[in-house]
């Protein structure tokens, strides 16, 4: 806590510029020693005033040291709308102590868009695509969903429309909202498949009402195997559903997926909640690349993948809340994982050797031992019969 009070004032500024600022925000700008912001934001202020005007550099992170150098002065930082809605607020305040800053937000793009569309704010799924791939939307493409995406520029809107059409959602209604709240405001609508505008202006957001024949990701664990590219090394759908039930993901938790293969377990763990995290360990470089592709295609950019032997690298990683071992458990790995306490472990065995190890571990360390036997109906001559899969033994333990 600093004794001198706030030295940084974050001011949210909209397209209506100075006229739209509150009296406290205007007073802060008039009293400031310096004002920092993007060129577009600085241009919205009157030309008068004593403050030094500093253009925030690109990339954004390069401006943080420049700001911190002015600690002790009276500094105003300009940001779009609400600095804490997909804005710069959290990026900057993580470098400051409580009491060093104060914020005067303006209406966010979310609230302005909702007002134009008549959408209740609490029904909207919002996402910042100005710095993320369009695939981030993949888990949220479902008929009846309302999505608002902040976009980088007009070209990124065109890219988004083309991607939606490729995913089978070309019938989605897209509303393009440009420069909301200012004299340049424009709101236009069409379907994703029909969008062909070349004059989309920045700043821009897109509202999406998904529609079409595209596949929708289910909410329950156990996605069909064909959602994932694989070489046969994949935890199959029914077994994966049982594994995720045993792993019991909770918000904010970290999973280690040892022997990640196609990445299916880690990806479904990450799909369970946007705050979950996962690290996948895999020795095979081609499988590692395939897992990365699967994660990207399903909109999961936060999967961390590590090539090489897991035991040799465990100490270098943040401690997990849960660990999944899909096969190849060894006594050495068990001992390494025991050092992670407290932690939940779910391990699967297909071979007799690994099954014997799980049985020994169950006697020694407790937990639950489950034998999973599955059979599918397959053609048998002119009729059908049951074709059994290899039985799988699951050991679940918390230590």
Residues of the chain with pLDDT under 50: 1-2
State whether 31 and 145 are in the same domain.
no
State whether 237 and 338 are in the same domain.
yes
* Domain span at 50: 8-107
Q: What is the mean pLDDT of the chain?
A: 94
Closest by CA to 185, choosing from 357, 4, 388, 20, is 20
- Domain total of the chain: 3
Q: What is the CATH number of the domain that holds 165?
A: 3.30.950.10
Q: Which of 83, 107, 131 is the last residue of a domain?
A: 107
State whether 91 and 60 are in the same domain.
yes
Residues 163 and 214: beta-carbon distance below 8 Å: no
Q: Which of 51, 84, 107 is the last residue of a domain?
A: 107
Whole-number Å distance between alpha carbons of 369 and 332 = 20
State whether 15 and 38 are in the same domain.
yes
355 is a domain residue: yes
pLDDT for the residue 328: 84
Whole-number Å distance between alpha carbons of 366 and 352 = 20
State whether 53 and 89 are in the same domain.
yes
State whether 66 and 124 are in the same domain.
no
pLDDT for the residue 4: 65
pLDDT for the residue 2: 44
Q: Residue 285 corresponds to which tokens in the numbers above?
A: 């470089």
Give the phi and the psi of residue 228 in degrees, each rounded to 5: -120, 130
pLDDT for the residue 1: 40
Whole-number Å distance between alpha carbons of 14 and 79 = 9
């Amino acid at each position: 806590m600093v004794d001198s009070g706030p030295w940084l004032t974050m001011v949210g500024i909209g397209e209506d510029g100075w006229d739209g600022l509150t009296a406290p925000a205007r007073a802060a700008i008039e009293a400031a020693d310096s004002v920092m912001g993007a060129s577009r934001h600085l241009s919205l202020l009157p030309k008068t005033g004593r403050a030094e005007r500093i253009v925030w550099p690109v990339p954004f992170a390069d401006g943080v040291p420049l700001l911190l150098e002015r600690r002790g002065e009276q500094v105003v930082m300009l940001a779009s709308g609400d600095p804490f809605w997909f804005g710069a607020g959290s990026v900057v305040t993580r470098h400051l102590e409580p009491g060093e800053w104060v914020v005067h937000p303006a209406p966010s793009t979310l609230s302005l868009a909702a007002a134009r569309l008549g959408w209740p704010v609490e029904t909207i799924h919002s996402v910042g695509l100005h710095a993320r791939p369009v695939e981030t939307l993949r888990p949220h493409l479902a008929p009846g969903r309302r999505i608002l995406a902040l976009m980088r520029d007009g070209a990124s809107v065109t890219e988004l429309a083309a991607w939606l059409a490729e995913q089978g959602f070309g019938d989605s209604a897209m509303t393009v909202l440009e420069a909301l709240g200012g004299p340049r405001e424009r709101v236009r609508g069409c379907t994703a498949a029909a969008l062909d505008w070349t004059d989309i202006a920045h700043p821009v957001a897109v509202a999406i009402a998904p529609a079409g024949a595209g596949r929708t990701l289910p909410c329950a664990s156990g996605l069909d195997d064909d959602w994932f590219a694989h070489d046969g090394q994949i935890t199959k759908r029914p077994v994966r559903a049982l594994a995720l039930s045993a792993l019991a993901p909770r918000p904010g938790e970290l999973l280690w997926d040892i022997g990640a293969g196609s990445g299916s377990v880690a990806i479904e763990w990450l799909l369970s909640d946007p705050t979950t995290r996962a690290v996948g360990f895999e020795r095979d470089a081609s499988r590692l690349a395939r897992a990365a592709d699967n994660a990207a295609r399903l909109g999961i950019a936060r999967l961390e993948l590590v090539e090489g032997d897991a035991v040799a690298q465990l100490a270098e990683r943040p401690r997990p809340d849960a660990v999944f071992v899909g096969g190849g458990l060894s006594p050495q790995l068990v001992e390494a994982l025991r050092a992670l306490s407290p932690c939940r472990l779910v391990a699967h065995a297909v071979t007799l050797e690994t099954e014997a190890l799980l049985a020994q571990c169950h006697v020694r360390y407790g937990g639950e031992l489950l034998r999973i036997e599955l059979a599918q109906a397959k053609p048998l001559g002119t009729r059908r019969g049951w074709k059994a899969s290899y039985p799988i033994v699951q050991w679940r333990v918390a230590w």
